[in-house]
Every structure is written in structure tokens, then in C-alpha cells.
Amino acid sequence: MSYYIRSSGREATFECSSTGAKLTGKQKGLEPLTLKRSLAGYPSYEIITVNGVTDVVEHRRMEPYFFMTDDPAVWSELGVPANNAFHSDGARGR
């Protein structure tokens, strides 16, 4: 995943190394978000919408790994509506 700042706003591009497939989405806000209880800026979160589907990326520390979080408490505190979420089973909503 790569982040870009363009004149049209922030973008994230996801690329699957095994297939070469790419998806690009819009990021919310001007910088990564943190929860009230976060220490030293981590974990940080990015709210990204790709093709009308919103998901939340979690960065647990400064490292080359990221995680997709479906924790309802995190989504709620970040103000992300749960009805637009994508689940691993292909269904939308919570």
C-alpha cells in the first residue's frame, strides 16, 4: 500500500504483488487518525473508500505492515458508518 497527497486530496493505492492488481481509494482527512487512548501516536488509522466501500486501515507501529480493522469500537470512535463496511464473506454492513 502506498499513500499519496495530490491536489485533489489524499489517496491510497493497494497493489497485490502476486497478481499486479491495483485499487486506488480516497483517504479521509489530512493526516492519520488516532484514538483518544493512543500512546505516542499509535495505533494510527486511515479511513479509505475504494469504489464506494469504506474500510479502516490500522498501523500498529512504524513498520511495513498494516492491518484492516473491523473493531466496532474503533469504527465508532473514528466516526465511520458501519453500514458501508465490506466483510471477508463479501457482504456489506455490520
Question: Looking at residue 94, what is its pLDDT?
Answer: 41
Count of structural domains within the chain:
1
The 10s digit of each residue's pLDDT in 35-93 is 998 878 899 999 999 999 999 999 999 888 899 999 999 999 999 987 655 554 545 44
Does residue 51 contact residue 34 with C-beta atoms inside 8 Å?
no
In a domain, 17, yes or no: no
Say what the pTM is. Answer: 0.79
Name the grid cell of 78.
473514528
Identify the band that residue 34 occupies on the pLDDT scale cut at 50, 70 and 90: very high
Mean pLDDT computed over 13-28: 90
SS3 27: strand
- Give the strand pairing for 33-39 and 2-6: unpaired
In a domain, 16, yes or no: no
- Give the strand pairing for 42-50 and 33-39: antiparallel
In a domain, 1, yes or no: no
Contacts within 8 Å (CB) and 24+ apart, 74-83: 74/35, 74/45, 77/35, 77/36, 78/33, 78/35, 78/45, 78/47, 80/47, 80/54, 80/56, 81/54
Question: Looking at residue 39, what is its pLDDT?
Answer: 78
In a domain, 66, yes or no: yes
Question: Looking at residue 47, what is its pLDDT?
Answer: 95
The domain of 39 spans 27-84
